[in-house]
Structure 1
Amino acid sequence: MDSQDQVGGAAFPRDVVVLGSTGSVGTQAVDVVRRNPDRFRVTALAAGGTRLQLLAEQVLDLNPVEVAVAWADAADPLREAITAEASRRRLAPGAWRMPSILTGPESVEQVAAGRCDVVLNAIDGALGLSSTLAVLKAGNTLALANKESLIVGGDLVTRAARPGQIVPVDSEHSALAQTLRSGAHGEVRRLIITATGGPFRGRRRSELTEVTAAQALAHPTWSMGPVITVNSATLVNKGLEVIEAHLLFGVAYDDIEVLLHPTSEIHSMVEYHDGAVIAQVSPPDMRLPIALGLAWPHRLPGAARAFDWSRPHDWRLMPLDDEAFPAVALARQVGRASGSAPAVYNAANEICVERFLAGRLPFLAIVDTVAQVVAELGGSAVGSIEEIRSADAWARTRARELTATY
């Protein structure tokens, strides 16, 4: 690691690998890096392969040594896209370089395990698990935006990680990591995770029977990918975050609470046993937790916009309606069961969301089906990534079977 610039004892610039660089979090991470060239240099990018033009632009902006694409046949199309983009920018032959291009699913794990300072894992869904384990095994710091890999991997991931190796990038867990600096672990009474409640906050269960995909995708605060946006509407995302908080911070499920907060300005809170509640507040902007994930434990000046204190702010907090939105209570049950249960919860949900977005499943049937799949398999113990993948595959198959009749 180069130590050209020392900031609070941490060496900069830091060598960074971005996994999922063309997704929502990945593109914002690239923006953070681009605006802080004295702090970060990207050594590798990884993407699925569906947005090769964007990936080509990122290559020319960041000049990585390696690029990994999960799509096995992406090498030639990506080279052509990079060359065409360089021509469009009128770059001289010596002004840019063609990176080494690796393809296939294993290529992403390969760059994840490469020599660097920090790896941002922003891969969607359970597919990020193998990359998370590769990062941890290599000893790199993991800036974790892919919560599913921690939740699905459970003990496999926590056992592989050394203390402090995982830095959360989810806005809620980044907020908890910041506020937990205010006291010792034994002084914590409970963690409080906030949720906007999505587009259907305040509706009763009976008012959710005719919900459409377009309505579910109209999140009131955040701009995210379609799966996580639907997960926010069902509160499945918040259930996943409860499991993530337990695994990251070692706090019992009974001591992790979810409260509704419509404006997404209070990201999370920690209540200490003396009655003090410490909150992390900031405008809803993922660039702040991303910048913290890459620079942890240091802060980057101007990482995100600050509050406009010349106007009033609404910091209301409200209880969650577990009858209308049972996903959080189900997640607590799943988390306590541990073993394969979190993998089943996540996998079944991914299939149900896919069916819902295709217009083949009612909104309320998403969590109802997930609950049925979880109940059928239970929480069998897992000791390897192969057993997790087996549980994941079974849950996907079973969810497809249960939703085929709609």
Structure 2
Amino acid sequence: MTDRNPAANTGRKRIAILGCTGSIGTQALDVCRRHADRLEVVALTAHSRTRELVDAAREFGVARVAVTDAARRSDPALADLPAGTSCQFGAEAAVDVCLHDDVDCVLVAIVGAAGLAASAAVLASGKQLALANKESLVVGGELLMPLAREGQLIPVDSEHSAIFQCYLGERAERAHAIWLTCSGGPFFGRTRAELEHVTAAQALAHPTWNMGAKITVDSATLMNKGLERIEAMHLFGVDMDFIRVVIQRQSKIHSMVEYEDGSVIAHLGASDMRIPIQYAFSYPDRWETPAPRVDFRELGSLDFAAPDADAFRCLALAERAGRTGGTLPCVMNAANEVAVAAFLDGAIGFTDIDRVVEACMDAHAVEPVQTLEQLADVDASARDAARRAIRARR
């Protein structure tokens, strides 16, 4: 059994952040900045934003950094790395820098399927994994969860952190349902016909959360909630029917667990990702909040609604993938990543995202999940199929 707080008797917990220049990564650095007496940043990675990586490395005095885009090897910014800070390049480097003995906890905040190999390596090493990459479990949950020891994998997604906390002190077998909350995104209430004409700028205007572009578009299509439903299925060992999606527009209830006696335990709080990030670092302790507190006397109301899976078809596609299992979630996720990138580039429309994903899912012959290498091959094949589907729509 892994120690819940590996640095409890040795000083500060030593943190590696994979994806330190993204939305989650920068907020994690803020948590580390606020709790410098408790947390020590020892390794950082970025894909291409080398200036931001170097600035963070200098601020925190890290031992190692990695740039996963090998084409950035000659970036002038890297000359400003602190003396003694090593720098590696390539996708494998993101894993290498976090597996050293001076790392206690690894935050995997890489967006997309690229986080799967890193998550698997962290779990296999016995280090604590703070998981902010939902695609790891969507694509490879059948491989990852058997590797996780008690207290080793702490979810960082706000909803899954909430569910994790709603289970604390309770008997999981006495739970009746998980209520997975959803903001509804910027297009809540719109019809399928109205969604045909929305723009990327409109999709990126999320009403309550500050996230990166890909995740924000996933929130607008409700694919994000579909991915989270599959993630919850793996994390908490339940089936798809056990996880019920409910729209909660204010984003103040982050999820709920209903128990067999009718009691519902809900996790409420500010819409600030630093709270679940900090909890993953502090678990099982709680530290002073990094975010403004919610005054529920001023909130006014909490609204609930059912999601519209006919208008937002990605939610139904994710349910199909979760129920089918095997390699189908991998195909769905890969096709979605390609389709979202094409939408952001103006190559396809908003509702073309689910059309591309569905076409790739329909064409795939599902296989049981066996290895990471197999999933990498399926991922690559699905991306090629998605690109062909996009070209066909032009």
Distance 2:312 2:297 in 1: 36
Counterpart of 1:86 in structure 2 is none
Letter in 1 for 2:198: V
Deviation at 1:229, TM superposition (A): 0.7
CA change 1:76–1:330 in 2 (3 A) is closer
The letter for the 2-side match of 1:14 is: K
Q: Show the counterpart of 1:92.
A: none
Q: Which runs of 5+ in 1 are unaligned?
A: 84-95
- Output aligned runs, 1:107-186, within 5 Å: 107-115=93-101, 116-186=103-173
> Counterparts of 1:77 and 1:360 in 2: how far apart (Å)?
30
Q: CA deviation at 1:302?
A: 2.3
Deviations 1:189-223 (A, max 9, x none): 00011111111001111211111111111111111
Answer yes or no: is 1:346 the counterpart of 2:333. yes
Q: Which one-letter code corresponds to 2:45 in the other structure?
A: A
Partner of 2:36: 37
Cα deviation digits, residues 114-145 of structure 1 (max 9, x gap): 22211000011001111111101111000000
8 Å contact from structure 2 (residues 6, 13) kept in 1? no
Once the two structures are overlaid, the 10-residue window that deviates more, 110-119 or 185-194, is: 110-119
SS at match of 1:142: strand
| 1:157-306 → structure 2 map (5 Å cutoff) | 157-306=144-293
Q: How much has 1:81 moved relative to structure 2? A: 4.8
The code of the aligned residue for 2:35 comes to N
Distance in 2, matches of 1:364 and 1:145, equals: 27
Instruction: Confirm or deny: 8 A CA contact 1:112 1:134 kept in the other structure.
Output: no
Counterpart check, 1:54 vs 2:83: no
Q: Which amino acid is 1:330 matched to? A: L
SS in structure 2 opposite 1:305?
A: coil
How far 1:12 moved relative to its partner? Answer: 4.4
TM-score, normalization by structure 2: 0.94
Within the candidate set 64, 70, 92, 1:72 is matched to: 70
Residues 181/76 of structure 1: CA separation in 2 closer, same or farther (3 Å cut): same
Alignment partner of 1:198: what SS?
coil
- The answer (yes or no) to whether the contact 1:154–1:339 under 8 Å persists in 2 is no
Q: Is the 8 A contact 1:52 1:81 kept in 2?
A: no
**Paired residues of 1:369 and 1:402 also in contact (CA < 8 A):** yes
Asked if the contact 2:62/2:85 (under 8 Å) is kept, the reply is yes
In structure 2, the CA distance between the partners of 1:80 and 1:158, relative to structure 1 (3 Å rule), is closer
> How far, CA to CA, are the matches of 2:70 and 2:78 in structure 1?
16
TM-score of the aligned structures, taking structure 1 as reference length:
0.92
Aligned: 1:364 with 2:366: no
Residue among 291, 296, 301 paired with 1:314: 301
In structure 2, how many angstroms separate the alpha carbons of the residues matched to 1:276 and 1:22?
41
Whether contact under 8 Å (1:334, 1:379) holds in the other structure is: no
Distance 1:24 1:287 in 2: 10
Judged with a 3 Å threshold, the aligned counterparts in structure 2 of structure 1 residues 181 and 63 are, in CA distance, closer, same or farther, namely: same
**Percent of aligned pairs with the same residue?**
43
Aligned counterpart for 1:106 among listed residues 92, 95, 106? 92
Counterparts of 1:134 and 1:6, CA distance in 2: 18
Matched position secondary structure for 1:242: helix
Q: C-alpha distance in 2, partners of 1:174/1:100?
A: 33
1-structure distance, mates of 2:100, 2:24: 21
Question: Which whole-Å deviations, capped at 9, do the CAs of 1:218-261 have from their partners, x for residues lacking one?
Answer: 11111111111110000000000000000000121101011111
- Residues 38 and 368 of structure 1, relative CA distance in 2, 3 Å threshold: same
CA distance in 2, matches of 1:75, 1:328: 40
Alpha-carbon distance between aligned partners in 2 of 1:67 and 1:221, rounded to the nearest angstrom: 32
Measure, in 2, the Cα distance between the counterparts of 1:280 and 1:378. 40
Unaligned runs of 5+ in 2: none
Q: In the comparison of the two structures, how many residue pairs are matched?
A: 389
Instruction: Supply the distance in 2 between the matched residues of 1:320 and 1:273 (Cα, whole angstroms).
Output: 24
SS in 2 for 1:290: helix
